[in-house]
Structure 1
Amino acid sequence: MKRKSLLISLIFLLTILVLSACAGNVESPPEENSDMEQESDSMEEGMDHSSMDDDAIENGHMSHDEVVSLNGSTGENELKIPPLLESDNEEEVVYTVRAQEGETEIFDGTNTKTYGYNGSFLGPVLQFEEGDTVKIRTINELDEETTFHWHGLEVSGEEDGGPHNSLKPGEEELIEFEVTQEASTLWFHPHPEGKTSEQVYNGLAGLIYIEDDNSKSLGLPNEYGKNDIPLIFQDKTFDDQKQLNYSAAMNDDGTIGDTSLVNGTLNPKLTVGKEKVRLRLLNGSNARNYTFKLNTGDSFVQVATDGGFLNKPVTLDEITLTPSERAEIIIDFSQLNSEDGLALINEEDGSILLPFEVSGQSGEDSSIPEEMNDISITEEEMNLPVTKNVELFGMMDMVTINGKKFDPERIDFTQDQGVTEVWEIYNKPDMMGGMIHPFHIHGAQFKILSRNGEEPPENERGWKDSISIEPDETVKIAIQFKQKGVYMFHCHILEHEDNGMMGQVKVE
């Protein structure tokens, strides 16, 4: 093992030498990138070899080709369904959201120290309707700074909850915005500079449902907690005391756990009727990728992406979500044979994520319409020139965007409000082959124009705010910001984000 550690260190040393030699030959992308002063050789500074522990090397974590397997669910606990947050005022849409510390009995008879929103672990579901004017009173009851980031929500930069909008312990803020986007499943989580990964790991995450006239007319399963189920998938590592010891579990390349939690439930199962059931999937993990599949090999139907409904339902055998991506799928349990057991599994390692117990009762007669939305990529959008180039590179604490680490005082791009531009994102491989980087842009939903010059798969032809990008893959997106402000764009492996794999776009 020592020999392997030495080999890895030598490879990284060679990588640094190559980068240093090539730094002078790298062209800065157009726009404001040319005035960024921090160059690629900054990756060498502060490099922490101690974080490349033997276990991380042995399980191939740094390339994410082989990560530690999850302990599959035994199905002994009924899945917890997060509560729907009630408005503080019947006449207005006013919510209070508190970031809190607490203790949660994840394991029988043991209290684990956790963070949560309006509770000890995770958070409630916020419900908006298109056209609503929403007020949210955010309160920081933690012993450290935090922010409230509304992931996927089209709001101004001042209300987005990025690292510039931090609240000190005991502080509170009232934000107000109009809901201008269509029906979708979004989420909220903290985004303080350098601390996002630990706060999410400790339990700060919740879902947002947006509804509109279209979503109400489609006839999809919509009975919350019965045939419309929110599912937050996360992986954790607990220490000998069954505590979330982040400093011990933390890996600079993305913290991967061996224990699966769904909605914060250990060893969950979901009891369903013989009916169509809508599952709203969120990959809420710090770094793990999930490929969701039924253990029987039966197909399901995807109806929505991050930011809204697909034009038509897409039948799939499996779907992969990288951190922060969402998808809505429908499983018709009236058509499946449940005698030998049904479960949602992670194809990545074969682990059982969520067993299903199908009751004998027939449920609601819902439908999946053939037409659900009318998103299109116009000829004008396809012919727009690329105006923003984004190069993702590195691993561990050597991660950069366009050869630079995050600087809160630096604006990397500017864009006009209401103007559609094309961004080209490239995941540059390194000497070890590189790794998938899930790329997220705040404050807007975008359309995928192409992957490596090819049309995106059918189930990605909807609104997105996060996108998985493979090593040596180039993705083009069309993006328009409806609001003004400064917004982050970053890798959503949370440790990469904290290590500086993040930039800023100013919308004017």
Structure 2
Amino acid sequence: MKIKITLGLLALITALVLAACSGDKEPTPNDGANTGEESHEDMDMNKEGSDSMEGMDGHMSHDEVVSLNDSTGENELKIPPVLEDENAKEEEIAYTVRAQKGETEIFDGTKTKTLGYNGAFLGPVLHLSKGDTVKIKLINELDEDTTFHWHGLEVPGDADGGPHASLKPGEENMVEFKVTQEASTLWFHPHPEGSTSEQVYNGLAGLIYIEDDNSKSLGLPNEYGQNDIPLIFQDKTFDDKYQLNYDAAMNEDGTIGETLLINGTLNPMLSVKKEKVRLRLLNGSNARNFTFKLNTGDSFEQIATDGGFLNEPVTLKEITLTPSERAEIIIDFSKLDTDDDLALINDEDGSILLPFQVSEQGGEDSNIPEKMNDFTITEEEMNLPVTKNVEFFGMMDKVTINGKKFDKDRIDFTQEQGVTEVWEFYNKPDDMGGMIHPVHIHGTQFKILSRNGEEPSENEQGWKDSFSLEPDETVKVAVQFKNKGVYMLHCHILEHEDNGMMSQVKVE
């Protein structure tokens, strides 16, 4: 039997937990940078406060959360526009990106107050190519501070858009960088200290496509909006006036809603031809996990992870993405039985996410090549010693990394530019089991070496910038930064990030 936790119960649980925990002490900050010498066992001995999280009767594991409403499929999926390059120079791209307020007709006949980039809600797709020099003019037209973070881009720290790069209302800035990484699907969103969750929830998010010579030669579906489809999955709660009342919906352990929007579309449906269709999946939610699956049980091919193509396609029947993770999959609709209703569902709760309307018309003769990339994990990388131990612990407003909350004046880790290190992540459970923390490192694409000492699954053997960290799980990753600067390391449950589950890495 499926258990549904109502929004009212979530609010009551939150209030009880906050009251019970008001007397707990926050760990004392430490001004020294962690070089990895302290083991997880040392952290256990040195951590202040109770690991049992006494009084946390409202612990939200997110194993049983409010279910999503099924999409009725009555609205054709909106496809984000592609931002126009303002510069005619062949290898120099110029964009202007504005964070702005607006109103959006999500529900028929009603205007919902929203935030967006270059529009009222969400943002356009930025198209980049490897080798491009990119200049982006940033303008804050909001009534509050914001930043522009390029999630997954390997850029210098001063262009990354973390909390140090805050723009006040009316301010402008220019960032410039060179695209040095391979073809991938990335995204951008705000990252102001303490208010990232609300700004993303209200609509600030957009996609970045990077292309390279390899991606153009593979013959994959690449007709934007036709057989190459961007999909931004987000869950929301609307009040009785159809507004996004974040203060009312907010949960300290991650805000989860019952209403699904894909690309900002309520009750979406996607019309496709009988051809191979490439879906670029982004879990853009504040906290909800999605396990994507076809309702028929048919398989699909995953071709890419967060940061690039897999070496070869991986056949799957489902794929789980935690917040901020991306994956590219291909569904061959020419080989599916289209007499019955077809839909993408969320196997976490069985909800219908995206019904498909399959026409009898044939489409483009695209390809899924057997070889797509030359991603490798070297023997040298596998034999490197662990140089950084990173422990995620807690829930609600008691979340920490290595026993500390975020302090923008404190550097927690240091690393040398261009040097590969192995970092070991551990999700320390509390007495109630703990919860999944999606881990994100700014400014780099890394390699997952192992999960609990075992080789990662086939579809994680590619470039990543985010990964799920289960309770009591240990994950080793090989990390290298191409650029210098200060970067964030944090949980991508956005409320956890805002509550201080974030550290700083200085690359010199």
TM-score, normalisation: structure 2: 0.91
Q: 1:73 aligns with which of 65, 71, 74?
A: 71
> Equivalents in 2 of 1:8, 1:431: separation in Å?
18
> Equivalents in 1 of 2:19, 2:448: separation in Å?
35
> Equivalents in 1 of 2:38, 2:165: separation in Å?
24
8 Å CA contact retained: 1:32, 1:414? no
Deviation at 1:41, TM superposition (A): 3.8
* Aligned residue in 1 for 2:6: none
1:116 aligns with 2:116: yes
8 Å CA contact retained: 1:343, 1:354? yes
Residue pairs, 1:62-461, within 5 angstroms: 62-91=60-89, 92-461=92-461
1:278-329, Cα deviation, whole Å (9 max, x unpaired): 0000000000000000000000000000000000100000000000000000
What's the Cα RMSD here? 2.6
> Equivalents in 2 of 1:69, 1:10: separation in Å?
24
> Equivalents in 2 of 1:29, 1:83: separation in Å?
43
Gapped regions of structure 1 (runs ≥ 5): none
> Equivalents in 1 of 2:133, 2:224: separation in Å?
23
1:4-49, Cα deviation, whole Å (9 max, x unpaired): 96998599779969x99xx9xxxx9654879x9xx844799xx9x9
* Aligned residue in 2 for 1:478: 478
8 Å CA contact retained: 1:439, 1:490? yes
Q: 1:337 to 1:262 in 2, by over 3 A?
A: same
8 Å CA contact retained: 1:42, 1:404? no
8 Å CA contact retained: 1:122, 1:203? yes
Q: 1:10 to 1:205 in 2, by over 3 A?
A: closer
Q: 1:32 to 1:100 in 2, by over 3 A?
A: farther
> Equivalents in 1 of 2:257, 2:402: separation in Å?
30
> Equivalents in 2 of 1:181, 1:9: separation in Å?
44
SS of 2:209's equivalent?
strand
1:138-193, Cα deviation, whole Å (9 max, x unpaired): 10000000000000000000000000000000001111100000000000000000
8 Å CA contact retained: 1:43, 1:398? no
SS of 1:170's equivalent?
coil
1:467-491, Cα deviation, whole Å (9 max, x unpaired): 0010000000001000000000000
* Aligned residue in 1 for 2:497: 497
8 Å CA contact retained: 2:182, 2:211? yes
8 Å CA contact retained: 1:276, 1:333? yes
AA paired with 1:90? A
Q: 1:159 to 1:33 in 2, by over 3 A?
A: farther
> Equivalents in 1 of 2:88, 2:205: separation in Å?
25
8 Å CA contact retained: 1:16, 1:41? no
> Equivalents in 1 of 2:20, 2:218: separation in Å?
53
> Equivalents in 1 of 2:309, 2:124: separation in Å?
23
AA paired with 1:463? W
SS of 2:431's equivalent?
coil
AA paired with 1:104? T
Q: 1:43 to 1:308 in 2, by over 3 A?
A: farther
* Aligned residue in 1 for 2:4: none
AA paired with 1:428? K
8 Å CA contact retained: 1:182, 1:308? yes
TM-score, normalisation: structure 1: 0.91
1:409-463, Cα deviation, whole Å (9 max, x unpaired): 0000000000000000000000110000000000000000000000000000000
Q: 1:74 to 1:89 in 2, by over 3 A?
A: same
Q: Which runs of 4+ in 1 moved over 3 A?
A: 4-17, 28-34, 39-44
8 Å CA contact retained: 1:275, 1:332? yes
Q: 1:133 to 1:30 in 2, by over 3 A?
A: closer
1:216-274, Cα deviation, whole Å (9 max, x unpaired): 01010000000000000000000000000000000000000000000000000000000
Identity of aligned residues (%): 78
Q: 1:70 to 1:393 in 2, by over 3 A?
A: same
Gapped regions of structure 2 (runs ≥ 5): 1-8
Q: 1:7 to 1:111 in 2, by over 3 A?
A: closer
Count of residues paired in the alignment: 486
Q: 1:110 to 1:7 in 2, by over 3 A?
A: closer
> Equivalents in 2 of 1:149, 1:346: separation in Å?
28
> Equivalents in 2 of 1:195, 1:10: separation in Å?
19
> Equivalents in 1 of 2:75, 2:13: separation in Å?
41
AA paired with 2:390? V
Deviation at 1:84, TM superposition (A): 0.5
